[in-house]
Amino acid sequence: ETAPQQVADEPLLSIDEISKTFGTEVAVEELSLAVEDGELLTLLGPSGCGKTTTLRLIAGLERPDTGAIRVDGRPIATGENTFVPPDARDIGVVFQDFALFPHMTAAENIAFGIDDWPESEQQRRVAELLDLVGLGEQGDSRPEELSGGQQQRVALARSLAPEPTILLLDEPFSNLDVDLRVEMREEVRRILKETGVTAVSVTHDQEEALSISDRVAVMHDGRLEQVGRPESVFQRPKSRFVAGFLGHASFLSGYVRGDEVDTTVASIDRDQVHGLASQYDMTEIDVLVRPDDVLAYPTTEAEADGRVTYRRYLGPSVLYRVELDSGETVECMHNHSESLDLDTPVSVTLTADHELVWFPKGSPSR
């Protein structure tokens, strides 16, 4: 028998229909995913959706019940017998708590995974990594002498030292202060892109996923809901779950009539509704609207579409929830200078000039 040939356009990491059950709990269900060479892909989803289990399956810390995981076309784990142990996978992991050795300096921590390299090679690699992560002067510092962001830089450098094929990052920013989180997102992305390593990250924070990733894989109940570029999962969610998990989502009931879709607040040009096939003529659909797609302005009781039932001041903007007379709820985002009191009768207008996504009535996806 000949060994399987590597196909030129084979993804670097491919996951084929893997499932993992703990007792009766299905953590991951028939998940398939392909990660390209040099790509940063983020697994995003709520707590318990199976993202950590997926990461652990790739790392070799769990075995799949069924399915296969391949790197460069070679199986590293299958539901049958193949199981390459974690330390033979050429896969690095950056843990949530960084897991640095407290008694070692930054340089020693970074050298830990390459202690079998010749001394001079180790030193060269450590210096190169300290530079890469912006810690050229901190090589002799111990973790306790470093800030959270610096500790994360050391953890990243340590995982990158052996030049892994794939780097896995488990909730990489959850141990950092909010301010530092945003700064480190940019830094981590820069560092990963500079090394060209293929990376899979895990988070439940949609803003983080959208801002650092080449592609985002949205998980729900152990399954993959949608995978795509940040803009595409945000602007073209394929399910109500994805729509709602990636940002505030309101659904306006719309009746499809000829070239228009009639909703309680506006008549929408059919062309503005993405891919609305003729089979939906004369039917009710739900149109997705985000808070920046609508505006509410005060008006008389007689003219009003509804009233303000919720107000959240966010600094630069204010989020309002409007309860429409039709019983529907719509959220809108206003500039902070425009203030509406609770209970104000308002008219709602649709200001969106981009294509709108819709869902068939009663169906979670389309």
Q: Compute the distance between CA of residue 45 and CA of residue 201 in angstroms, rounded to an integer.
A: 12
CB of residue 17 vs ligand ATP: minimum separation in angstroms? 17
Please tell me whether residue 345 binds ligand ATP under the rule CB under 6 A: no
Select from 33, 49, 58, 111 the one that contacts ligand ATP (CB under 6 A). Answer: 49
Interface with ligand ATP: number of residues (CB under 6 A): 12
Q: Is 258 in a helix, a strand, or coil?
A: coil
Beta bridge partners of 94: 169
Select from 17, 25, 207, 281 the one that contacts ligand ATP (CB under 6 A). Answer: 25
Which of 50/237 has CB closer to ligand ATP? Answer: 50
Which of 170/331 has CB closer to ligand ATP? Answer: 170
Report the interhelical angle of 178-195 vs 148-160 (nearest 10°).
20
Torsion over CA: 121, 169, 224, 292 (sign): negative
Please tell me whether residue 172 binds ligand ATP under the rule CB under 6 A: no
Select from 2, 6, 47, 120 the one that contacts ligand ATP (CB under 6 A). Answer: 47
Which of 51/125 has CB closer to ligand ATP? Answer: 51
Select from 38, 48, 75, 247 the one that contacts ligand ATP (CB under 6 A). Answer: 48
CB of residue 181 vs ligand ATP: minimum separation in angstroms? 16
User: Which of the residues 197 through 226 are near ligand ATP (CB under 6 A)?
Assistant: 204
Nearest residue to 338 (alpha-carbon basis) of 275, 289, 296, 281: 296
Upper half-sphere CA count for residue 261 (Cβ side, 13 Å)? 28
Select from 50, 92, 164, 291 the one that contacts ligand ATP (CB under 6 A). Answer: 50
Select from 14, 19, 42, 52 the one that contacts ligand ATP (CB under 6 A). Answer: 52
The runs of H, that is alpha helices, within 106-224 are 106-111, 119-132, 148-160, 178-195, 206-212
CB of residue 224 vs ligand ATP: minimum separation in angstroms? 12
Please tell me whether residue 53 binds ligand ATP under the rule CB under 6 A: yes
Buried b (16+ CB within 10 A) or exposed e, 14-24: bbbebbbeeee
Which of 53/198 has CB closer to ligand ATP? Answer: 53
Residue in the block written with tokens 């060209």: 196
* 279 CB-near residues (< 8 Å, 6+ apart): none
Q: Tell how strand 329-335 and strand 317-324 pair up.
A: antiparallel
CB of residue 22 vs ligand ATP: minimum separation in angstroms? 3
Please tell me whether residue 27 binds ligand ATP under the rule CB under 6 A: yes
Q: Compute the distance between CA of residue 318 and CA of residue 123 in angstroms, rounded to an integer.
A: 53
Type of residue numbered 269: D
Which of 157/217 has CB closer to ligand ATP? Answer: 217
Please tell me whether residue 22 binds ligand ATP under the rule CB under 6 A: yes
CB of residue 54 vs ligand ATP: minimum separation in angstroms? 7
**Contact criterion met (CB below 8 Å) for 165 and 91:** yes
> Where on the chain is the footprint of ligand ATP (CB under 6 A)?
22, 25, 27, 45, 47-53, 204
